[in-house]
Homo-oligomer: A and B are copies of this chain.
Amino acid sequence: MLDGWTDGAAKSAIVDFVARVTAEGADFVEPEARVAVFDNDGTLWCEKPAYIQLDFLVRRLAEKAAADSELADRQPYLAAATGDLSWFGGAITRHYQGDDADLKVLAGAVMGLHQSMTVEAHAALIAEFFATAMHPTLERPYQQCVYTPMVELLRYLEAHGFTCYIVSGGGRDFMRPITSTIYGIPPERIVGSAQGLKFEGADGHGDLLIQPALDIWDDGPEKPVRIWSRIGRRPIPSAGNSNGDDEMLTYSGRAGHPSLRLLVLHDDAEREFAYTAGAERALEHAAEYGWTVVSMRDDWARVFGA
């Protein structure tokens, strides 16, 4: 079942952990407590050269600029319409340099993109995007930018009585329309960032409308909070790839039982990308606390499906 994993320390850690917590004895964990949590961007699917969701949002901004000429010479619509992706990266870089102006402009436009749309209409837009959108350099549809060994791991855990959840800084409602297809994980097991919603009802019917404000920013220390809020259990195995997953990995595991904390290391420039920026603290903690670092280059026989 783990055919995409080469024999080595990472695969052994997975197989040994599962064997120990599912066999009768002191390490046994009852099936209802076998909750596993997975980050998404960079852990289950590719996050470079940009988050897939950012590509979706830039396309939506460009569509909006095309439909409204008053917007077309204003940021972030101008950058979106002219394909100037460096502006978006620059807005984030300048934020880390203490200049928030462009990031606020971007966030305001993004929050307004789907304002007053029903959650169902929004889901249809996402499904439409994934039906055709291609990764800019990997020459494959985004739908096929999922890491095959990690999908095998989802199935392997499920075959041993685990229930798998995705806990991502990405948009909860951006992931939901596609996760059943690409991961076999249904909407009720997707935890992520989200805009506010508002109920509006009349004549015995009602809808949920997207509001132009952030409700949940599901990253860093908020991940364990959202895990409890949504699941009500402390997860046991967990997987991530960045500093934003550090608290989730720290939170997971049951005292006195074996744990499994996987940190995916992007060290495979040939088959995917090689980078550690944004994962420094998590990598330090992995070394300090004995988490399992998964080398894409060495531990995975393949990265993507055919």
Contacts and interface: CB of A to CB of B under 8 A. Distances in A.
A78 interface: no
A104 interface: no
A162 to B, nearest CB: 13
B204 A251 contact: no
A201 B225 CA distance: 12
Nearest to A120: B234
Contacts of A69: none
A229 interface: yes
Given A119-B228, A187-B231, A228-B197, A206 B32 contact: no
A186 B247 CA distance: 25
Contacts of A172: 229, 232
A272 to B, nearest CB: 29
A236 interface: no
A199 B32 contact: no
25 contacts: A32-B180, A32-B186, A119-B228, A163-B188, A172-B229, A172-B232, A176-B232, A187-B233, A188-B231, A188-B233, A197-B225, A197-B228, A198-B221, A199-B225, A199-B247, A199-B251, A201-B221, A201-B250, A201-B251, A204-B289, A205-B250, A206-B250, A208-B224, A208-B251, A216-B229
